[in-house]
A = this chain, B = another copy of it.
């Protein structure tokens, strides 16, 4: 049976193998993705991001346990993305240890990915892996990544519901909360809420919401015609505040299904993916330029300061036109 059919029948081993094929961008991977694409778009994709040390893995662990306890028939996926390391090829050992008690459950499918600092890594491979999990019937699909640079913006482009975590005691505390957080957060979580400084973090987020939504009552936790990111205080290690967070996630899912944002976010995701594929194609073209005969001459001319990089680019463009014509 072809891999795509096996995945549709719920074969987890076939899923794991095809994810590897997709990560390697193999022909089999691309073919199966094409075959499976019509069966996607059903699962609720939940992104979880925040600074290193906020307790993301622990929160995911508690969240998943709560979801499993609520619904015996659930089948869910977890993708742990490490965009910070260009060096390690999928370690995340600490995370795996922390997730041990849930990853043994057969209703849970966990995958760790190191995007190794690859440009577009998160937008190109992660949506593909999400799609495979989605076709396999996993719902929800949790995507966890550290909030480093571009990654936190990219996660908001692939998720239906983006949870941004903060915690007290992460060095700069309140100052570290970025002004752009509201552009990506659907739900805010202050973890380690039993630690000193947690109230300060909550207040800082609250103040930011009031600045971001000046004409609305930010204490109205269930408005009918707009969504203000609710703030949840959690102690993930003790599973405190998790039930409320699960409720908040469900409310957000219902809200975006009702107001059309579910489709809009689906649209953003496929567009981000298409853009990443285009960028990948462009990188291949650049490799072709580098292997062409003209390239060493251009580099030598630049080193002798006879032509500038801008002028070298023009030469490459002219050569490209010659090839296309």
- For the complex, give the distance between the alpha carbons of A87 and B177 in Å: 11
Q: Would A303 and B267 count as touching, CB distance under 8 A?
A: yes
In the assembled complex, A97 has its CB within 8 A of some CB on chain B: no
Q: If the complex has contacts A53-B171, A117-B149, A148-B149, are A274 and B87 also in contact, measured as CB distance less than 8 A?
A: no
Q: Would A309 and B274 count as touching, CB distance under 8 A?
A: yes
Partner pick for A149 among B86, B302, B309, CB 8 A cutoff:
B86
Q: Which residues of B contact A299 (CB under 8 A)?
A: 267, 270-271, 274
Q: Would B178 and A88 count as touching, CB distance under 8 A?
A: yes
Which of A266, A311, A312 has the most CB atoms of chain B within a 10 A radius of its CB?
Answer: A312
Partner pick for A86 among B37, B38, B180, B285, CB 8 A cutoff:
B180
Q: Which residues of B contact A316 (CB under 8 A)?
A: 278
**A residues 20-54 with Cβ under 8 Å of B?**
30, 33-34, 37-41, 52-53
In the assembled complex, A244 has its CB within 8 A of some CB on chain B: no
Q: How far is the CB of A272 from chain B (nearest CB, A)?
A: 10
Q: If the complex has contacts A53-B171, A119-B119, A274-B313, are A305 and B41 also in contact, measured as CB distance less than 8 A?
A: yes
Q: Is the interface of A mostly helix, strand, loop or mixed?
A: helix
Q: Would B117 and A150 count as touching, CB distance under 8 A?
A: yes
- Interface stretch, picked from A136-144, A201-209, A235-243, A317-325, is A317-325
- Chain A 269-312, CB-CB to B under 8 Å as 1, else 0, gives 01101110111011001100100000000110011011111111
Q: Would A37 and B305 count as touching, CB distance under 8 A?
A: yes
Nearest 7 interchain pairs by C-beta: A87-B180, A37-B308, A324-B324, A282-B282, A117-B150, A270-B302, A38-B305
Having A38-B306, A117-B153, one finds 16 other A-B pairs with CB under 8 Å, namely A33-B308, A34-B310, A87-B180, A88-B179, A119-B119, A119-B120, A149-B149, A149-B151, A267-B299, A267-B303, A274-B299, A274-B312, A281-B317, A282-B282, A324-B325, A325-B325
Q: Could you write out 18 A-B pairs with CB less than 8 Å apart?
A: A37-B309, A38-B305, A40-B305, A117-B149, A117-B150, A117-B153, A119-B120, A119-B150, A149-B150, A149-B151, A263-B303, A266-B303, A270-B299, A271-B299, A274-B302, A278-B286, A281-B313, A324-B324
